[in-house]
Amino acid sequence: MSVVLVCNSGSSSFKYQLIDVARSETLASGIVERIGAGVGHAQHRHEGPENTSHGSNWDGAFEVPDHFAAFEVMLEGFAAHGPSLEEFPPVAIGHRVVQGGARFFEPTVITELVKINIDELSSLAPLHNPANLAGIEAAQRAFPDVPHVAVFDTAFHQTMPPAAYSYAIDREVAAKHRIRRYGFHGTSHRFVSRATAEFLGRPLEELRTIVLHLGNGASACAVSGGRSVETSMGMTPLEGLVMGTRSGDLDPAVLLHLQRRAGYSVAELDELLNQRSGVLGLGGHADMRDLVAAADGGDQAAALALEVYAHRVRSYVGAYAAQLGRVDAIVFTAGVGENAAPVREWCLAGLEGFGVIVDPDRNRAAERGARRISGDDSRVEVLVVPTNEELEIARQTAEVVGGAHG
């Protein structure tokens, strides 16, 4: 059995899954939240039917000052609620790393040098890479004898052509400071575009799809024949769609103006755009459930935030349709994309003239799993396909380790 433990370390949360790769089966999963903010909260789920010696859910509150503590909480979850890590020892640990820059485009066994590189790339993903690295350090301390593998969000987008990844600025400045677009959420876009081909029963090579990964962070990706040809996040995960707390696209002169006229420092601008913008900044709520509830209750700011959010997604759908030349499927995924039916409807409203017709009943049906939500008369398939970044990371990790061991 090839069991892989997957770690997805965020700035304030740590998500994990223990996965039997050969059977594509999750044995356990969990999350430790509010790291570094006083009392943290942990959930551990031992997969299996409820109320049996297997299936059990566990919630707890702990002091979680850092990722090392979060790792300990996870180990307690396994020890107390199973499955036993002695019985299912991981052969490797797979880590999500957000920014791999131009250095990493394959899953990579983590050495000291790789860690130095991940650290150096932190300025290009300030919310993510430092947390990813902290998770790696914690995991290496707890599991010193198994290989650790980094799977990069940027890797899938290395196929973007120069026309898509170049910013139109002085090329010498760009080269000197490595300014270009990288794109993120690649592990998800890759998994979902493959699952889409499977769902449609069509060869990946012939499909042109637009994948909309709408979670806390959000990005769109144009995928042609299984390869990313354009994506909405850029040099950092700040560009593109409106997100929970991130602004997405804006005129760069806004920053100059705030610096010159309002005396904003670099740190203040960073905090404004990454943590106080997006639907939180516009509508007062970062969480889509709260935002929709507020708008339903008559909150005008929340309603405008939703309009801006959907307007931006629609613009990208149009742009990527033009880049692809033909669209076979538009695919929603991640927390918002998989669960927020009204948001899906708003994002694609008014596109009937382009052959994109969402069926309201199919869209709102309480189904899970991959499903079609377009009407029978829609020329473009509109689908919801759940992402599974952890499974994709586990598969890639097992492949690297399997390869390394002959």
Ligand X SMILES: Nc1ncnc2c1ncn2[C@@H]1O[C@H](COP(=O)(O)OP(=O)(O)O)[C@@H](O)[C@H]1O
Residues annotated in the binding site for ATP, as ranges?
15, 213-217, 287-289, 335-339
Catalytic residue among 20, 119, 153, 251: 153
The yes or no reply on residue 244 touching Mg ion (CB under 5 A) is no
For residue 385, the minimal CB distance to Mg ion (Å) is 15
Work out the angle at residue 309's Cα, subtended by the Cα atoms of residues 322 and 261, and round it to the nearest 5 degrees: 105
For residue 167, the minimal CB distance to ligand X (Å) is 25
Residue with Cβ nearer ligand X (4 or 288): 288
CA distance 198 to 162: 30
Binding-site sequence positions for Mg(2+): 8, 389
Q: Which stretch binds ligand UVW (CB under 6 A): 197-205, 212-220, 223-231, 311-319?
A: 212-220
Residue with Cβ nearer ligand UVW (239 or 381): 239
In the complex, which residue's CB is closest to ligand X? 335
Binding-site sequence positions for substrate: 96
For residue 17, the minimal CB distance to Mg ion (Å) is 13
Residue with Cβ nearer ligand X (11 or 140): 11
Q: Tell me which residues in 38-67 interact with ligand UVW (CB under 6 A).
A: none
In the complex, which residue's CB is closest to ligand UVW? 217
For residue 331, the minimal CB distance to ligand UVW (Å) is 17
Which of 370, 345, 331, 330 is closest to 292 using CA atoms? 345
x-marked contacts with ligand UVW along 122-141 as a string, rule CB under 6 A: ------x-------------
3-state SS, the chain, equals CCEEEEEEECCCCEEEEEEEHHHCEEEEEEEEECCCCCEEEEEEEECCCCCCCCCEEEEEEEECCCHHHHHHHHHHHHHHHCCCCCCCCCCEEEEEECCCCCCCCCCEECCHHHHHHHHHHHHHCCCCHHHHHHHHHHHHHHCCCCCEEEEECCHHHHHCCHHHHCCCCCHHHHHHCCCCCCCCCHHHHHHHHHHHHHHHCCCHHHCEEEEEEECCCEEEEEEECCEEEEECCCCCCCCCCCCCCCCCCCCCHHHHHHHHHHCCCHHHHHHHHHHCCHHHHHHCCCCHHHHHHHHHCCCHHHHHHHHHHHHHHHHHHHHHHHHHCCCCEEEEEHHHHHHCHHHHHHHCCCCHHHCCCECHHHHHCCCCCCEECECCCCCCEEEECCCCHHHHHHHHHHHHHHHHCC
Written as six digits, the tokens of 292 are: 């929709």
The yes or no reply on residue 351 touching ligand UVW (CB under 6 A) is no
Binding-site sequence positions: 8, 15, 96, 213-217, 287-289, 335-339, 389
7, 18, 19, 98: which one contacts ligand UVW (CB under 6 A)? 98
Name the binder of 244 from Mg ion, ligand UVW, ligand X, none, CB < 5-8 A by kind: ligand X
For residue 134, the minimal CB distance to Mg ion (Å) is 17
Which residues in this chain contact ligand X in the complex, by CB under 6 A?
215-217, 244, 287-289, 334-336, 339-340
Radius of gyration of the chain (CA): 21
For residue 188, the minimal CB distance to ligand UVW (Å) is 9
Name the binder of 340 from ligand X, Mg ion, ligand UVW, none, CB < 5-8 A by kind: ligand X
The yes or no reply on residue 186 touching ligand UVW (CB under 6 A) is no
The yes or no reply on residue 216 touching ligand UVW (CB under 6 A) is yes
Residue with Cβ nearer ligand X (126 or 147): 126
Written as six digits, the tokens of 139 are: 């995991």
Residue with Cβ nearer ligand UVW (181 or 208): 181
Q: Could you tell me if 150 and 114 are in contact, meaning their C-beta atoms sit under 8 angstroms apart?
A: yes
* 153 assigned to active site: yes
The yes or no reply on residue 217 touching ligand UVW (CB under 6 A) is yes
Residues that bind ligand UVW (CB under 6 A): 98, 128, 153, 184-185, 215-217, 237
The catalytic residues are 153
